[in-house]
Structure 1
Amino acid sequence: MTKLRRAAIVSPLRTGVGKFQGALSGIQAGELGAIALRALVERTKIDPERIDDVIFSQGYPSGEAPAIGRWSALAAGFPISVPGYQLDRRCGSGLQAVVEAAMFVQTGAADVVVAGGVESMSNVEYYSTTMRNGARMGDVAFHDRLTRGRVMSQPVERFGVISGMIETAENLAKDYQIPREACDEYAARSHQRAAAAW
C-alpha cells in the first residue's frame, strides 16, 4: 500500500453565530461561506489559485446557492478555475467535509482544500413538491424544510418519523446509561483540548 501523505488543518476560522431570525438572518448561507473564504485569504495570504477544491456541507441546502462550495468560492472572488461542491451528511456534514478534504490531501489528489460547514437556518426554504406541472385548482401545500428535513431524512414507510439529534442524544444516553455529568465532563474536556490545540 502506498504511504499516505500527512494532512493538516492549517487555518481554522468561522463566522459569528446568530440566533434564529436574529442579526445575521439577512445573510444567506452562500454569502456566509463567501465571508469565511475572503477572511481565510486575508488571514493566510494564500493565492486562491492554489486552492484545489472547496468542500462545503449544508444540512438544509437551498436552491438559491446550489453546490454551495462552488457558489461561495465564486462569490468570494475566487477564480473560476477553483472547483467546489456540497455534501450533506445531516448533523455530521461539516466533519464529513473535513474528512473528505483530508482524504484528498492524504492520497495526493489535492494539496490545498478548504472544507467546512455552512448554514443559515433563518433562510431555509419553504417548498412544494406539487407545483412543477401547475395547480389546476384547489389548495397548494408548502413544506418547511426545517421540519420536513427531520421527517424525510429516512424512508418514513420503513422507519416512521424519527427524532432529531437532540432527542437521539438523550435516547442514547438513556440506552447506554451515560449520566449527564459524564457527558458534560466529556464536552468540557473536548473544548479544552480544542482551545489548547488552537
Structure 2
Amino acid sequence: MAAYLSNFTKIARVPALNTNFNRYAAQCLSTSSAACQKKTLPDKTGKNIVLVDGVRTPFLQSFTDYSKLMPHDLARQSLISLLRKTKIDKELIDYIVYGTVIQEVKTSNIGREAALAAGFSNKTPAHTVTMACISANQAITTGVGLIATGTYDIIVAGGAEFMSDVPIRHSRKMRSLMLRANKAKSVVQRLSLLASIRPNFLIPELPAVAEFSSGETMGHSADRLAAAFKVSRQEQDDYALRSHTLAYQAQQNGYLTDLVPFKVSGVDKTVDKDNGIRVSTKEQLAKLKPAFVKPYGTITAANSSYLTDGASACLIMSEAKAKELGFKPKAYIRDFTYVSQDPFDELLLGPAYGIPKILKKAGLKLNDIDTWEIHEAFAGQICANLKALDSDWFCKNYIGLDGKVGQPDLSKWNNWGGSLSIGHPFAATGVRLAMHTANRLVRENGQLGLIAACAAGGQGVAMILERHPDANAN
C-alpha cells in the first residue's frame, strides 16, 4: 500500500494534470485506501463552482415565535448570519438570488428588500425566483449559471417562506368594486357602487396548498400516490418516526451546524433550534386520523411535513475566487437537472424522475452516492418514490428505462432527518438540503452526495455535490 500511494503521489505531481487530481491524491495519503477508490466528477463549467458555506434560521412551526415578523425579516436574518459566518465583505458580493413561494405583496422581490434591510449596498442587484418547493434549488442553480457564464464571480442564493401571515384577498367581485370606487369622480358614484355590495362579496379568498391545474391539494395527491404504490399506513408512520428520531439525534449531537440562532424581536427570545422535531411512538402515530382523504386515507398530520417559517442562504463562487479570498469551500456543485411530469397523477414523483436522470447525466450508479438528501413532503411520497425507483414496470413504462433503477442504500438516506421533522419552509428547503449534504459528506467521509426534491406543478430537481478537499464540518 505504501508503494502504491508513493506512485500515486508521483503521478499526481505531474504539472500537466488537473489541480483537483493533485488535491485528491493528497487527500488519499491521509485517509484509508477505500477513500482513494471513491469516484470524482469532472468540472463542466470551466469554473469549478463551489459551495463555500450556508446558513439558515431555525425552522419553526408557523404561528409560533416568528409570527409577528414579516418574510423579509427572516431573509434578512439569513443574509446577516451568512456574512457573519463566512466573514465575507458584503461589498464583494456581486448578485443575490432568493426564492419564495407565497409572496408578501409589499415585498414581492424579497431578495432585494432583504438585501437592503441587511445593509447591502443599493448597487447590489437582487431578484426573486419561484419554483414551489425547489425555489432555493433554482436560486442556487441560477447563481451557478451566472458564474459559469462569467457574468458574476460571487453569488448569494437562498430562500424564505413565512406561513404565519399569508396574503388573504377580497373576493374578485369585491376587488372589482373597490377599484371602480377608487376611480369614481364623485361621492354619489362611490355611494352607488357601495350600495351594490352583496353579502357574498365579503367572502375572502384564502390561499391553499393546491394545484391550480387540478384544484387538488397536495395532501390528496399524496394519498392517491401512496395508494397507487400500495404504501401502507404503517410504512408511512414508520418512516415519519425514523425522520424525527434521526433529526433529534442530529440535533442533540450538534450536527445541524447550518442553523444559526436568531434573537427574535418582539418576543425577546433567542431561538436556537428547530421546534417541530418530536419523537413519538408507533402507537401514538397509529391513533391519528387521516388528514385529507377521510375516513380511509393514510396521510396524517404526523406523517406529513408541517407549515413552517424559515429562511436560508448560501455563498457560491468559482474555486479560484474562493482560493483568492482564503475560503475553504464545503463542496463542488457538480451537476443538476430539472424534471417535469403530469401534475395530477405524478405530482410528487420528482425524485423518481430526477434521480435516474442526474445519475445518467453524471455517469454515476446508485452505489457511487455516499449521501442522499431527499425532500420529505410526505412519508407516503418518499415511500412511493422508493418503490417507483425499484419497479421494473414503472421505470420501463413511465421513465423509459430498460429496467428498474434499484433501491438506494437507506443507511445513507436522510441521516439527519428531513422535511417531515426539521420542517419545510417551502422556498428555503433547497439550501438546507445542500448544506446537510455537504456537512454529511465530511462527517461520514463521503465523496458524492445527491439531492432530489419534488415540487408543485409536477416538477422536481436533482443535484450532485462533491466534497471539497478543504471541507470541514462546521
Q: Shorter-chain TM-score: what band? A: 0.7 to 0.9
Cα shift readout 1:59-117 (whole Å, capped 9, x = no counterpart): 11111211111110001011100111111101111111111111111211111110011
Tell me if the contact between 2:171 and 2:202 (Cα under 8 Å) persists in the aligned partners: no
Measure how far apart 1:172 and its partner are. Answer: 7.9
DSSP 3-state at the match of 1:8:
strand
DSSP 3-state at the match of 1:121:
coil
Do the aligned partners of residues 115 and 23 (structure 1) sit closer, same or farther apart at CA in structure 2, a change above 3 Å counting?
A: same
Name structure 2 gaps, 5 residues minimum.
Answer: 1-43, 179-193, 223-347, 350-379, 391-406, 418-435, 443-472
Matched AA of 1:12: G
Residue equivalent to 2:413: 187
Matched, 1:164 2:218: yes
Q: Which moves more between the two structures, 85-94 or 132-141?
A: 132-141
Residues 111-130 of structure 1: pairs in structure 2 closer than 5 A: 111-128=153-170, 130=172
Matched, 1:177 2:237: no
> Of 199, 202, 227, which aligns to 1:140?
202
Cα shift readout 1:12-42 (whole Å, capped 9, x = no counterpart): 1111111121112222111101111111222
- If asked which structure has higher relative contact order (CA below 8 Å, sep 6+), I would say 2
Whole-angstrom distance in 2 between the partners of 1:102 and 1:88: 17
DSSP 3-state at the match of 1:122:
coil
Residue equivalent to 1:59: 101
Do the aligned partners of residues 151 and 143 (structure 1) sit closer, same or farther apart at CA in structure 2, a change above 3 Å counting?
A: farther
Matched AA of 1:188: N
Matched AA of 1:15: T
> Of 142, 145, 150, which aligns to 1:100?
142
Measure how far apart 1:141 and its partner are. Answer: 3.2
Do the aligned partners of residues 129 and 188 (structure 1) sit closer, same or farther apart at CA in structure 2, a change above 3 Å counting?
A: same
> Of 108, 118, 122, which aligns to 1:76?
118
DSSP 3-state at the match of 1:105:
helix
Do the aligned partners of residues 173 and 42 (structure 1) sit closer, same or farther apart at CA in structure 2, a change above 3 Å counting?
A: closer
Higher strand share: 2
Measure how far apart 1:193 and its partner are. Answer: 4.6
DSSP 3-state at the match of 2:53:
coil
Residue equivalent to 1:14: 56
Measure how far apart 1:4 and its partner are. Answer: 3.0
Name structure 1 gaps, 5 residues minimum.
Answer: 155-159
Residues 30-69 of structure 1: pairs in structure 2 closer than 5 A: 30-69=72-111
Cα shift readout 1:121-175 (whole Å, capped 9, x = no counterpart): 1121112352144164112332222x1x5242x3xxxxx2234277136368548
Do the aligned partners of residues 187 and 25 (structure 1) sit closer, same or farther apart at CA in structure 2, a change above 3 Å counting?
A: farther
Tell me if the contact between 1:5 and 1:107 (Cα under 8 Å) persists in the aligned partners: no
DSSP 3-state at the match of 2:96:
strand
Whole-angstrom distance in 1 between the partners of 2:94 and 2:171: 36
Do the aligned partners of residues 32 and 3 (structure 1) sit closer, same or farther apart at CA in structure 2, a change above 3 Å counting?
A: closer
Residue equivalent to 1:157: none
Q: Which moves more between the two structures, 182-191 or 57-66?
A: 182-191
Residue equivalent to 2:460: none
Mark the structure with the bigger radius of gyration: 2
Q: Which moves more between the two structures, 135-144 or 169-178?
A: 169-178
The sequence identity of aligned pairs, in percent, is 22
> Of 109, 112, 116, which aligns to 2:151?
109
Tell me if the contact between 1:5 and 1:105 (Cα under 8 Å) persists in the aligned partners: yes
Do the aligned partners of residues 183 and 162 (structure 1) sit closer, same or farther apart at CA in structure 2, a change above 3 Å counting?
A: farther
State how many pairs are aligned: 187
